[in-house]
Structures are given as C-alpha cells and as structure tokens.
Amino acid sequence: MTAQPSQLWPVHSKPLVGEALSSWLLRIADGNGLDQRSFKRYLPKAHGTSADLDLIDDEAFFTAIATWSAIPPEHVAALGFARDEGLVFIQKATDHPDWIIPRDRLGTWPEKRHVASQPFCPACFASDVTPYYRKVWRYAFHPICPEHGFLADRCPRCGAPFSYLALGSASWSRYGAHALRHCTACGTPFAKPQHGTFDALEQGAIAIQSALMNGLAAGWMQHGGKSIPIALFLRGLHIVAEALLNPEHGRTMCAWVAAHHPELAYSDFSFLGEGTLERQTSVARAWVLVLAYWLVQDWPKHWIALLQETGIRSPTCLPHQKFLPAWMHSDEIAQLCIRENRRSPEEIASAKKLLAKLRNYPPNNAELTTFMNTGVVPPFKPRTRPISPEVRQAFSRQLQVNPGTAESAQKCEDSLRQCVRELYPTALVDDPLSELLEDMDDTETSLPILKRQQRSLRGKS
C-alpha cells in the first residue's frame, strides 16, 4: 500500500511483533506528542459502540489507519481481535466474546465505565527496548509468559490495577504510554523478577497454551485422531471450563479432576473468583485451563466418569447436546441426558400419590414437576376464576344500598336473585342466597363484603 506523504502521521512507527492494536496506536500518539484523549480526536469514528480499540471491527476504520500509517489494512485489522472470529470465537454477538479478557469492569453505572486490570508481564516490559502490550495477553487461554511465569494482574508492589487505556470517566492522567514502563499508582518501575523453575501447574498450562496457539496458526486441532476446526475446539473447551466455574458444583468438579493429578499440588481452590472465565485471575485461569483440557481429552470418557463418581447431573452444568460443537456429540452424552431427564411412569405415579397425600389435594403437572425436581412440597393454591365485569357491576350496585333504609332483607334478597337470574338464567334461583353466591364468579374481597351486607340487613329487619 502506497500513501501520499501529506496523508501520513508525522510519526508512524511500525507495529512490533505480537503487539495489540491499542498499544500500537498509543505508541503513535506518544511519538506525536499527544495523549490518549487528544489523539482519539484524530481517529476515525468506528462503526458500533465498543470503547475497546482492540474489539473494533470496521473496515473503514482499518483503511483510514492504514492510510495514515503506511500499513496494509489487513495488517492493521490483524492487530486487534476482528480477525479472530472463526478462530478464537465463533461469532462476536456481544462486545465480550469468548476467550477475550474484557477491558471494562463489572458494576453499576458509572463504576462499570472504569477500566479493569489487564494481565501483563512486568518482566517483559522491563526487558523491552520499547515497551509494548502483547495481544496474546488478553487471551484467557494464555495465562503464563513462557519466559517469566504467570502474568501479573496488578502491580507487584502496591496491588493497583494495571491498564494503559482509559475508559469513560476514568482519570486520563493515569493512563498512556508511561503506564507500560512503571505503575501509575505508586510510580515503581517494572522490573524483571527472579524466576526459578516452572512448577507442574505452570508447565501444564504452558504446554496447553502452546498447543492452542499452534492450533490458531494452523486453523485446526488434532483431537481423537480427527482434525477439528480450532474455533469449534475452543468453543467446547470454553463450555467445559465454564462448567468448572459453576457456583453450585464447580469446586466439587475441580477437586475430582485435581485428584487425578497429584503433581499439581491441589488446594481448596479458594482463589477461584466470581464471574466468567475471562474475569478470573491468571492463576485461576491456568488451573481451569489445565483441568478443562484434561476433561476434553478422550471425550466423553473423563466427563462421564466425573458425573458418575460425583453424582452431579449433566444438565446442571452442560448445555443440551444440540448446543455443543459437533466433535462433542456422542451416543454416551445423548443417552446420559435422556436417562437423567426421563422418568418412568411408576416414578411419576408414586410422586403424584405422595404429593396428594402430603397436601390432601391432587397436584397439577407444574406442581408435580417442582416436587420431583426439588423435593419441595409446593404450597396449595385454590383454583379461583377472575370476576367478570358483569358480576363486578352487579356487586357494585348492591354494595351501594344504604343499610339505614326501610328496605327489608327480603327485598335485598329478591334484588340479588334478580341479578343472578339476569346473569345466570340456568341457575336455581329458588335455592338459598348463600348457595347462589357460591355459584357466582367472586373474588376473595367481594364475597366477604357482600355477606356482611346481608347480615347487617337481616339484623335491622
């Protein structure tokens, strides 16, 4: 691509190997003496609402940046995550696709507009001649630097969150190219720590993330003697990883898998946080990655063994088979779902009889399902029909009768019988008034009021 000299930025440095789009643009802004806020005014408006530069997917935006930097548009797009659709994730339905660590923080407005801490390697920053942020650090399946160990989630000294880009109402002075050199909270320069040998967890996570990165480069993964598109393999791995983070059964499942790997020095997994995989710490993501990757090996043998030995029901932590990628489909999973969801007629009849005995009233289908799934006896709700507008008007006319008038109780009963005869021609109007009221549509509030009116009139007569 050839650009006119007048169209180029005064300083348009080339992107470094593996650099993220946002990091490259930030270095260009710093080279031209602009901060993030000022430089953003010169960038083209991207289609969509994403405030994350790395998630922009707009060809016009990439073309404009390519014109001003003398970089081919396809190379500009490859710096972000726009070209990862169909490789890392299947479809970017939201601003936070699978496996991409979000930049914003959960919370209510305006807190959610603040920047979340991004994983980074302080030793890489300290070793770089020109510090820059690597794109792979935002992959949730890349929790470890192959040279220096676990990625840091916060400043190693003061614990302040790390980010070089500002979002929303955050303080702009705390972000910029200088954030790649030292902590913007305590001012401590990033240093290269002394790192010994990798332990079993780090070695396992590095091997897995290397295999996945090779799969991204090739476009497919070898699994069970078959070549699986990398996006479908990562989709299945993400489903299993999310199952390990299930708030109800996740820790039990992690403990069961870790028991098969004593070399990993299993703990109580108290470091697992709330939320999705992408919002976990680097250590937690490494644990989940190693455990989930072992579960998908020889699929579904390990998964079925886990469910059988722990007693966990598959539908509580795994989607229906129709929502699973094709390589996860198997007769064993299908039969497992059918067996757990299907109940025998004898079981249904026994549960229905027991629930009727406990409540002294036969249950409907919804109540029976609740009882069979949870074991909780649902409360009895009497079956009532809503009052009709005609009956409501008739009641309203009768309630306006003044008890102090000379009208006798007999006249009041005759008036009520006449209303009933007009509304219900087939009713037995010669029955006592109390029985007629039971045949009428009523509500829990109208019936007591009408009966009190009846007793009042009888007492005055």
Which tokens belong to 292?
């989930």
Burial 253-270 (b: 16+ CB within 10 A, else e): bbebbbeeeeebebeebe
CB proximity list for 128: less than 8 A, separation 6 or greater: none
* Measured distance between the N- and C-terminal CA atoms of the chain, rounded to whole angstroms: 104
Specify the pairing of strand 144-145 against strand 149-150. antiparallel
Q: Which residues pair with 222 in a beta bridge?
A: 227
pLDDT of 62 strictly over 90: yes
Q: Where are the domains of the chain?
A: 1-119+157-181, 200-341, 389-460
* 3-class SS of residue 46: coil
- Contact (Cβ atoms closer than 8 angstroms) between residue 424 and residue 442: no
Which tokens belong to 358?
């406990």
C-alpha to C-alpha distance for 423 and 427, rounded to whole angstroms = 9
Give the largest Cα separation in the chain, rounded. Answer: 107
C-alpha to C-alpha distance for 80 and 21, rounded to whole angstroms = 5
Give per-residue pLDDT as tens, 388-437. Answer: 666 667 666 666 655 444 455 556 656 666 665 565 544 444 444 454 44
Instruction: Identify the DSSP state of 110.
Output: T
Give the mean pLDDT of 322-337: 80
pLDDT band at 191 (very low <50, low <70, confident <90, very high): confident
Handedness of CA 139, 144, 147, 151 (dihedral sign): positive
pLDDT of 442 strictly over 50: no
Q: Which residues pair with 120 in a beta bridge?
A: 152
> In Å, how far are 104, 170, 272, 375, 382 from 155, measured between CA atoms?
18, 18, 20, 49, 61
Q: Which range has the worst mean pLDDT, 211-215, 255-259, 415-419, 425-429? A: 425-429
Q: Which of 21-35, 262-276, 323-337, 416-430 has the highest mean pLDDT?
A: 21-35
C-alpha to C-alpha distance for 306 and 293, rounded to whole angstroms = 14
CB proximity list for 124: less than 8 A, separation 6 or greater: 134, 145, 147, 148
- Greater confidence (407 vs 221) lies with 221
Q: Which range has the worst mean pLDDT, 43-57, 79-93, 294-308, 425-439? A: 425-439
Q: Which helix (H) or strand (E) element contains residue 229?
A: strand 226-229
Instruction: Identify the DSSP state of 123.
Output: H
Q: Which range has the worst mean pLDDT, 87-91, 153-157, 313-317? A: 313-317
Q: According to the model, what pLDDT value does residue 286 have?
A: 94
C-alpha to C-alpha distance for 77 and 64, rounded to whole angstroms = 11
pLDDT of 2 strictly over 70: no
Question: How would DSSP label each residue in 180-227?
Answer: GTB-TTT-PBP---------HHHHHHHHHHHHHHHHHHHTEEEETTEE
Q: Which of 139-148, 168-177, 271-280, 373-382 has the highest mean pLDDT?
A: 139-148
Which tokens belong to 34?
């602009």
- Greater confidence (344 vs 168) lies with 344
Helix 331-341 with 301-310: angle, nearest 10 deg = 30
pLDDT band at 330 (very low <50, low <70, confident <90, very high): confident
What's the pTM value of the predicted model, to 2 decimals?
0.71
Residue 131's nearest CA partner among 83, 164, 85 is 164
> In Å, how far are 75, 143, 188, 292, 330 from 243, measured between CA atoms?
36, 19, 39, 9, 18
Q: Which percentage of the chain shows pLDDT scores above 90? A: 33
pLDDT of 20 strictly over 90: yes
Count of H-run helices and E-run strands, the chain? 17, 4
Q: According to the model, what pLDDT value does residue 217 have?
A: 93
C-alpha to C-alpha distance for 371 and 352, rounded to whole angstroms = 9
As to burial, measured by CB atoms within 10 angstroms (0-12 exposed, 13-18 middle, 19+ buried), residue 243 is buried
Strands (E), 57-162: 144-145, 149-150
Instruction: Identify the DSSP state of 228.
Output: E
Handedness of CA 285, 288, 291, 295 (dihedral sign): negative
C-alpha to C-alpha distance for 255 and 266, rounded to whole angstroms = 8
